[in-house]
Amino acid sequence: MDESKLQTGVIKVGGMVTQHDADKVLRALHEVWGVRGAHISLNDSEAIFSYDEKAASYHDFQQAIADIGFKIDQKEGSRDIKS
């Protein structure tokens, strides 16, 4: 795979307060086709992930989190970081 096509995204997740919540979000991220890695910062309520932009979009990760019942905080630092 061409490593230059990896992107990094950060999503502020509203309502993620427990380790159980963080585990649910992490599982949802790992189910998105094209994800290459993901981790959760529970203290910052952030999901940080890298993905292949040819296989997934930033919106796919937002949707995966919304689909399991969490709020995406658009104003609070959610962003797609171009690598």
pLDDT in tens, 6-57: 999 999 999 999 999 999 999 999 999 999 999 999 999 999 999 999 999 9
With CA atoms as reference, report the closest residue to 6 among 58, 73, 67, 62.
58
Instruction: Transcribe 23-46 into DSSP letters.
Output: HHHHHHHHTSTTEEEEEEETTTTE
CA 21 to chain centre: 13
| Domains, the chain, ordered by start | 3-81 (3.30.70.100)
Question: pLDDT at position 1, please?
Answer: 46
Query: What is the maximal distance between C-alpha atoms in the chain?
Result: 36
Question: pLDDT at position 20, please?
Answer: 98
Task: Give 18 or 5, the one with higher predicted confidence.
Answer: 18
pLDDT in tens, 50-75: 999 999 999 999 999 999 999 998 76
